[in-house]
Amino acid sequence: MSYAMETFDPEIFEAINQELERQTNHLEMIASENFTIPAVMEAMGSVFTNKYAEGYPYKRYYGGCEHADTVEQLAIDRACELFNCKFANVQPHSGSQANGAVYAALLKPYDKILGMDLSHGGHLTHGSKPSFSGKNYQSFTYGVELDGYINYDKVMEIAKTVQPKIIVCGASAYAREIDFKKFRDIADEVGAILFADIAHIAGLVCADEHMSPFPYADVVTTTTHKTLAGPRGGMIMTNDEDIAKKINSAIFPGLQGGPLVHVIAAKAVGFKYNLSDEWKTYAKQVKANTKVLADVLIKRGFDLVSNGTDNHLVLVSFVGKEFSGKDADAALGAAGITVNKNTVPGETRSPFVTSGIRVGAAALTSRGMKETEFEIIANKMADVLENIEDSELHAKIKDEMKELASKFVIYDKAIY
């Protein structure tokens, strides 16, 4: 019996290869996605998937962990170097797990969380009602003004009224720089813990292309698969030894069992990439490309939330227009450009329909696209949005986008 995937499981083999084709032929502009490097995929597909390593480096509950210790310690050391902090836990299986561990470590059930409203750009795990964070804790929210910016004076007022145990800053759909120092002042004023979730912007932060949450935040979480372009996973960082100990216990044995050593190995490889000079160039290019996207869309008459961008994404608002975010998402999808619908300030439609889209530049920048390509793509997006019902035009643009994409092939095979 052969266990090579092609012969052992042709259905899955076929689906994986079709996914490679999809990723190659479409323009991926979902702001939370990226393309990782083959070395990261090699680590993820490695023999470490077989290994149980409950515990932490050099303090394990299983034998045979000496090589698991090596990779986890390297991942931790590289993470600390990358973000200039003292402690890192690289075991969270995802960003949501990381956030759950922060609350489990630092709060009691029904303590008060103050986070950014999901419909204003926050994340489910920042206290949203359908999430554990809104069920197990008393959650309160702040949002953005109609101009698309966080009003820090207002956050201060809300914090004084709410008196939260923890303030969460960081977002999934916010195009402007987050001022962690101002959040620190707010947290100090009300005696709250400051928790920064940099899941979206971490790849910019580690390249000095966005203000760092250190030294302002008490605890910081991130995903490793968004702008960091590493494997799918989460991480928690702090400079506070007491918090670090609580976090470690909250992850294991609190919330998780055995760590995903193969993913931790891949995180270490990803961090090595993030520490390179090449990465600094990449992060700069992400911002430059996003700026072109914003400028072209504004020139073509579209409303951008906050009227521009400081980071890797733009939010386009269709408030007052006949078509919705859902319509725009579908039309762009038909034109080979993948984005996602998103609520925007002054929203009048339901979260399933919305009046906006979120568009990010990180993934296409990883494929090597620069300002020239982003100018072409942004103009094609505008063409689609101006002709939202012209399916013939969408099909024509889809062919053009496939042609453009074919010049920026990122993988030569589906499985590394």
The span from the CA of 89 to the CA of 235, in Å, is 6
Q: Does 385 bind ligand PLP (CB under 6 A)?
A: no
Q: Does 119 bind ligand PLP (CB under 6 A)?
A: no
Q: Is 223 a catalytic residue?
A: yes
Q: Does 354 bind ligand PLP (CB under 6 A)?
A: no
- Identified binder of ligand PLP from the candidate list 199, 377, 384, 410, rule CB under 6 A: 199
> Which member of 60, 165, 176, 226 is catalytic?
226
Query: Residue 124 corresponds to which tokens in the numbers above?
Result: 């489910």
Binding residues with ligand PLP: total (CB under 6 A): 15
Q: Are 238 and 247 in contact (CB under 8 A)?
A: yes
Residue type present at position 243? I
Q: At closest approach, how far in Å is the CB of 366 from ligand PLP?
A: 17
Q: Does 32 bind ligand PLP (CB under 6 A)?
A: yes
> Which member of 223, 309, 338, 343 is catalytic?
223
Q: Is 349 a catalytic residue?
A: no
Q: At closest approach, how far in Å is the CB of 342 from ligand PLP?
A: 12
Q: Are 232 and 205 in contact (CB under 8 A)?
A: no
Between the alpha carbon of residue 264 and those of residues 82, 270, 416, the distances in Å are 16, 10, 17
Q: Does 227 bind ligand PLP (CB under 6 A)?
A: no
Burial letters 318-328, b for 16+ CB under 10 A, else e:
bbeeeebbbbb
Instruction: Give the residue nearest to ligand PLP (CB).
Output: 95
Query: Residue 374 corresponds to which tokens in the numbers above?
Result: 């982003």
The span from the CA of 394 to the CA of 336, in Å, is 8
Using DSSP's 3-state secondary structure scheme, residue 223 falls into strand
- Identified binder of ligand PLP from the candidate list 78, 184, 200, 312, rule CB under 6 A: 200
Q: Does 131 bind ligand PLP (CB under 6 A)?
A: no
Q: At closest approach, how far in Å is the CB of 26 from ligand PLP?
A: 21
- Identified binder of ligand PLP from the candidate list 23, 125, 238, 306, rule CB under 6 A: 125
Burial letters 76-94, b for 16+ CB under 10 A, else e:
bebbbebbebebbbbbbbb
Identify which of residues 95 and 345 has a Cβ nearer to ligand PLP in the complex.
95
Between the alpha carbon of residue 301 and those of residues 169, 252, 297, 304, 314, the distances in Å are 31, 51, 6, 9, 14
Q: Does 36 bind ligand PLP (CB under 6 A)?
A: no
Q: Does 120 bind ligand PLP (CB under 6 A)?
A: no
Q: Is 226 a catalytic residue?
A: yes
Scanning 80-88, 165-173, 359-367, 402-410 for contacts with ligand PLP by CB under 6 A, the matching segment is: 165-173
Provide the 10 A C-beta neighbour count for residue 118: 24
Cα separation of the two ends of the chain:
22
> Which member of 197, 303, 327, 373 is catalytic?
197
Q: Is 179 a catalytic residue?
A: no
Residue ranges binding ligand PLP (CB under 6 A): 32, 94-96, 99, 123, 125, 170-172, 197, 199-200, 223, 234
Q: What are the catalytic residues?
A: 52, 54, 197, 223, 226, 232
